Structure 1
Amino acid sequence: MANQLRSGAILDIIGSGNPERPVLQVLAVRHNVLQTMEYYSLTVSDGQLKCTFVMLTEPFLCKVTSGEISQYCIIQIDDYKYDGVTQETDHIMKVMIILGVTVLQSGYDVGKSIGDPLYLPHLFELSRGALLGLVHEGKGPKEPILQILAMKSILVCNQQYHRVFLSDGRWSSNCALISQRLTCKVLSGEISQNCIVQLNIFASQTMPDTSGKVLTISHLTVLQSGADVGRRLGTPEPFHIKKWIIQSEPTIISIQPTEQSTKSSDSESAASSAEQCGSNIATSRTYSDMKQSAYTISCHTDSPHWCETFKNRGVYIKEAKNLTEKKHLAQ
């Protein structure tokens, strides 16, 4: 019987591995009502892990009431979806919703739990894709749900903070700082590696002695402890905010004075400085130094961030297919 179970199927399901028709054992059946929807929640096992985040809805409720689906029975999941469901607390938790099921062996015939599976807790759904917008643009969910992957104590302006490595399930970065008022939660172990948190009060800003923007967290709620979660959720792609911004900066192709401008030694120096960066990256300092005359700057860029940066500095932007012309107006 143990060989029937699809070992590792539960981790494949929550990791979007999409196992084909996994065979599981039902360890418990519970009747529930969510708002106006009646459903049964199942505790299932693949022989290695067991979990409770499985929903059985119409038209399969009759299989429970008839006793076909019961404790210890072996089932084959013919079709399912792994999706978020809003709980009464308004938090979204992912569950496996069964859309097709076949009972392979009755609970009466099996009569016991197969193996000694470890409990896998019901996890909150992370705010997937939110991290990049929160840090770089200051935009995103009002109270995002993220996972803390690691922490490190650092000094910023001679004050101790904890830098945290965050994940939203899609992106991960060490771009966040926990404020000093939350230090007690770190020392007590409430905020720990792998825990799932909801950010309540936070801001994206540039701080002294740090590279690039950081997300400063003033208040958060621990939704699930690191011990309960026990692992990294998904396979988030790491990014460093400073590196990400540099890659988005435009590369200079040419810098030419406008017909109306008269070159001065300062402006020539600024242009020379910019041209030296041409084969590499154009920095904001290059543009801010151009104060003596107007320049037409041609460069490749597709970054909305830099378009806004140029506009804020009096740079006129004209789109032309893959080439963006920027005219720096004389100040």
Structure 2
Amino acid sequence: MRVELTQGAISALGNGREPRDPILQCLGTKFVTGSGVPRLRLDLSDGIHSFAIVMLGTHLHHLVTDGSLQQHTVFKLKQYHSAVLQGLKRIVVCLDIEILQSAEEAGGKIGEPVRFAVSQNAAYGHETLPLTTRPGVEDLYLDAV
């Protein structure tokens, strides 16, 4: 049985709104180094859009290392913090999640999400339409984080 993702949650998060307990799917994880503290970046989807400027709180890293949170896992984002970095990049930090379906139970990617990119106005919380980018372009944006 598939869990319904919270469609529109990625757009809301990217535009500075705060959806309550959105159900999302993890499309991938990546350890990021650079500041001395290992960080874990997530690529999340709501079935319509995906967003990769998401960090997992260090106290939750064990979910990735023990295999609970992996590609295609579905979870409820129970607590998070959203902030604007360097004046124009919005980042979301996951502080508490509840695993709803393992990757095996989810059975693969849900929907056909396209990459969500945030305009400068959206970073500051102004209403804008989502922008989509070509595959690969988001990596340039992510490297700057």
If the length of structure 2 is used for normalisation, what is the TM-score? 0.77
Q: Distance in 2 between matches of 1:174 and 1:219?
A: 17
Note if 1:305 corresponds to 2:113.
no
Where does structure 1 differ by over 3 angstroms across 4 or more consecutive aligned residues?
Answer: none
How far is 1:206 from its partner? 2.9
Q: Distance in 2 between matches of 1:170 and 1:145?
A: 12
Specify every segment of 5 or more residues in structure 2 that has no aligned partner in the other structure, as ranges: 128-145
Residue matched to 2:41: 163
Higher RCO, Cα 8 Å, sep 6+: 2
**Structure showing greater Rg:** 1
Q: Distance in 2 between matches of 1:212 and 1:156?
A: 18
Q: Distance in 1 between matches of 2:84 and 2:33?
A: 15
Specify every segment of 5 or more residues in structure 1 that has no aligned partner in the other structure, as ranges: 1-121, 250-303, 307-331
Pairing 1:153-302 to 2, within 5 Å after superposition? 153-155=31-33, 157-207=35-85, 212-240=89-117, 244-246=118-120
What code does the residue aligned with 2:42 have? V
Q: State the SS of the aligned residue for 1:123.
A: coil
How far is 1:237 from its partner? 1.6
Partners of 1:136 and 1:204 within 8 A in 2: no
If the length of structure 1 is used for normalisation, what is the TM-score? 0.35
Q: Which of 98, 117, 126 is the equivalent residue of 2:5?
A: 126
Note if 1:151 corresponds to 2:25.
no
Q: In angstroms, what is the RMSD of aligned CA positions?
A: 2.3
Deviation per CA, 1:180-239: give whole Å up to 9, x if none: 10111110000010000001110111347xx71111001101100012213110111212
